[in-house]
Amino acid sequence: MNLAHKNCKKNSPVAAVYLHIPFCQHKCPFCSFAVIRDRERFHEKYILGMIDEIKKRAEWMGAKQSFYDKKYTGQKLLKSIYFGGGTPSSLRITEVDILLSQVRNFFPCSDDIEISFEMNPEDVNPEYLCGLAEIGVTRISLGGQSFQSLSLKKLGRLHSVLELRKAVKDIICSAINNWNIDLMFGIPEQSITMFKKDVEEALSYNPSHISLYGLEIHEKTPFGKNKQIIKWDSEHQQQYEEMYLWAIERLEKSGLFQYEVSNFSKKNMESFNNLLVWSGNEYLGFGVGAHSYVSQTRWSNKRSLKIYQKHLEENTWPVEFEEQLQQKELAAESLMLALRQTKGINVEQWQTRFGSLWENQQFDILNELCDTGRAFWKGQQLCLTSKGMLLADRITVELMPPSISKL
């Protein structure tokens, strides 16, 4: 597909933009994201490629007929810019600023836009944080994972516990007062006591947000090829559940309330990016492996840096996968995204939207979920309990009406 350049209407057609920075000093053995070994000489060409993609995609959005439909009238402003990776903090401040300037140029921003930036602990220092604040970054997400040396070693992380503690203190002293720390559980050889210590230490720093991720074993990663780790994971599912349920209760007692399966925040400090994506808003992703969702179409970019750049040089989209979501996929995704959030889903509105009614089978499943403490009704909203959140994806499949499942 040729990327014809056309004049772009000065408006933001999406609420959120994601910028993928794939560079890493070292790829963690559990990671399944699109990352490459960091070389500073790669930065300039990659950033120029991203700028080209941003410009072309903005022009493409402006040329779409639906962009001029009534539902798009009025000023629609960008609410979130999220730098993820990989390691965004591998970039120099000037490089980050260039990318931000390009996004702002093509996607007019809300006055209260949230600009999130992922960092590795070993990259954090007062000067870098000051630079981020000066160019408009409003939120830091720190990839801490654990305050235990053994856990960090098992995960293949490069930072030490001391570096993590220093990074946290530098963030606290910076001008950026909205910050998240990632913690992981289900790590090989991690005991419940070790995990509790991680949570307690994280809470002692008073973060505005904690993301709590259970270790997932992906097939094509080193962990996914390690029989001992696979065996350990399968034998410790009960411990995995105990960690998760304990953490939910402990975090909420400390004023960090769960709003999604893996995310907890102080009141009104939820991640804009998370809320927008989980509420079904359209978003654009730029860079290798980045995902987008526009006009009921979902696509992801090439994961190879060379192939990504080759497509842009040839004036073609660097797309790896693309699908137009049909009624079945839209219904399933809407149900899944809603059930992953603590606010749940209005079942009547969902059924009306997708023209399908639950049958006796779905109500039997729902009654069982309520009886076993995995779901409950809150007015018209169906919500999952903490135990239900552990099975959110499976529950979504079970609650899909046959009339949609057969489409």
pLDDT digit string (tens) for the chain, length 407 residues? 444 333 344 567 899 999 999 999 888 888 888 888 888 889 999 999 999 999 999 989 876 644 444 444 444 789 999 999 999 999 999 999 999 999 999 999 999 999 999 999 999 999 999 999 999 999 999 999 999 999 999 999 999 999 999 999 999 999 999 999 999 999 999 999 999 999 999 999 999 999 999 998 888 898 888 889 888 888 888 999 999 999 999 999 999 999 999 999 999 999 999 999 999 999 999 999 999 999 999 999 999 999 999 999 999 999 999 999 998 889 989 999 999 999 999 998 998 988 877 888 888 999 999 999 999 999 989 999 999 999 988 898 888 877 665 54
**Contacts of 302 by beta carbon, 8 Å cutoff, 6+ apart:** 288, 289, 308, 311, 318, 319, 320
* Domains of the chain, start order: 16-277 (3.80.30.20), 327-405 (1.10.10.920)
Q: What is the pLDDT of residue 5?
A: 36
Q: 347-354 vs 327-339: helix axis angle to the nearest 10?
A: 170
What pLDDT score was predicted for residue 224?
Answer: 87
Question: pLDDT at position 166, please?
Answer: 98
* Cα 55 from Cα 39, distance rounded (Å): 25
Give the number of residues written for the chain: 407
How far is residue 301's CA from residue 286's CA, in Å, rounded to a whole number?
Answer: 8
Q: Residue 196's CB: how many other CB atoms inside 10 A?
A: 15
What residues contact 109, with CB distance under 8 A and at least 6 apart? Answer: 12, 77, 78, 81
∠ CA 75-81-82, nearest 5°, is: 155
Distance CA 240, CA 246 (A): 10
The reported pLDDT for the residue numbered 406 is 52
Q: Phi, psi at residue 285, to the nearest 5°?
A: -115, 140
Distance CA 373, CA 391 (A): 12
pTM summary value: 0.91
